[in-house]
Amino acid sequence: MQFIEGKVALVTGGSKGIGFGIAEALLWQGIHVAITSRTKGAAVEAAKKLSDLCKGKAKAVGLKADVRNYKSQQKAVEEVVEKFGKLDILVANAGLGHFASIDELTEQQWQETIDTNLTGVFFSVKAAVEELKKTKGYIITISSLAGTNFFQKGAAYNASKFGLTGFTQAIMLDLRPYEIKVTTIMPGSVATYFNNHIPDGNDDWKIQKEDIGSMVIDLLRMHPRTLPSKIEVRPSLPPS
């Protein structure tokens, strides 16, 4: 089992939802975490909440960064290294969804979806990869079952997640010679605020954000010789 306490992680889009759940799980294992959000206030507030929840097991910091801007991602990585001295783990989680029939989908909605869900991951990985080479680190991208399963009104989202799944598998092969592990996690229905949904008691059947957090910890603790490169995860029961 891998020793992971004291490692340093960067989680994009970590101020809420799946990213927040992953950050919390990392902190409980003694991993220092930097989370990013497009607004400084949201990032700092979430980092404080994480620190309070995890009672000082490790340090949490909030950074303003926009995955759609490469220089912004470079700055985030630089801030992490300046704060903690290294970067071991990148969780490329930031994402959004616009869902509309192709005749109603706007150019802006298409571009925002691709820029965030696909190009944003490219920028995050590109900005972090040299630091991860130094630590023989781990890259985890959060794709979706929509990365293999298409659906009506999903043109933009499907395109972004199909692309992300392929991108992650390709860089996994690129980075194996550097002993950098790369995995994509592809969740189905998760109880989060994604797409303006408000989680409530009717979401108990869904995957919970802490379930994804536990999965990330399992990946990090796996023996170095073993790499689950693509993980599909769905609720064990159908919608109730």
pLDDT tens digits, 91-142: 999 999 999 999 999 999 999 999 999 999 999 999 999 999 999 999 999 9
> How do 138-142 and 181-187 pair as beta strands?
parallel
DSSP tag of 167: H
Q: Sorting pLDDT into bands at 50, 70 and 90, what band is 35?
A: very high
Asked if pLDDT for residue 77 goes beyond 80, the answer is: yes
Asked if pLDDT for residue 189 goes beyond 80, the answer is: no
The reply to whether 30 falls in a domain is yes
Domain residue limits at 137: 8-233
Q: Sorting pLDDT into bands at 50, 70 and 90, what band is 199?
A: low
- Whether 157 is catalytic is yes
The active-site residue, picked from 70, 157, 178, 193, is 157
Question: In this predicted structure, what is the pLDDT of residue 239?
Answer: 75
Asked if pLDDT for residue 200 goes beyond 60, the answer is: no
Question: In this predicted structure, what is the pLDDT of residue 129?
Answer: 98
The reply to whether 141 falls in a domain is yes
Q: Sorting pLDDT into bands at 50, 70 and 90, what band is 3?
A: confident
Q: How far apart are CA 158 and CA 162, in angstroms?
A: 6
The reply to whether 240 falls in a domain is no
The reply to whether 147 falls in a domain is yes
* CATH number of the domain to which 142 belongs: 3.40.50.720
| pTM passes above 0.85 | yes
Asked if pLDDT for residue 20 goes beyond 80, the answer is: yes
Asked if pLDDT for residue 27 goes beyond 70, the answer is: yes
DSSP string, 45-63: HHHHHHHHHHTTSS-EEEE
Q: Sorting pLDDT into bands at 50, 70 and 90, what band is 202?
A: low
The reply to whether 130 falls in a domain is yes
Q: Sorting pLDDT into bands at 50, 70 and 90, what band is 55?
A: confident
Beta bridge partners of 36: 63
Q: How far apart are CA 43 and CA 50, in angstroms?
A: 10
DSSP tag of 196: G
Number of domains the chain contains: 1
Instruction: Give me 203's structure tokens.
Output: 């979401």
The reply to whether 59 falls in a domain is yes
Question: Among the residues of 29-154, which ranges form H helices?
Answer: 40-54, 70-84, 107-114, 120-135
Asked if pLDDT for residue 207 goes beyond 90, the answer is: no
The reply to whether 238 falls in a domain is no
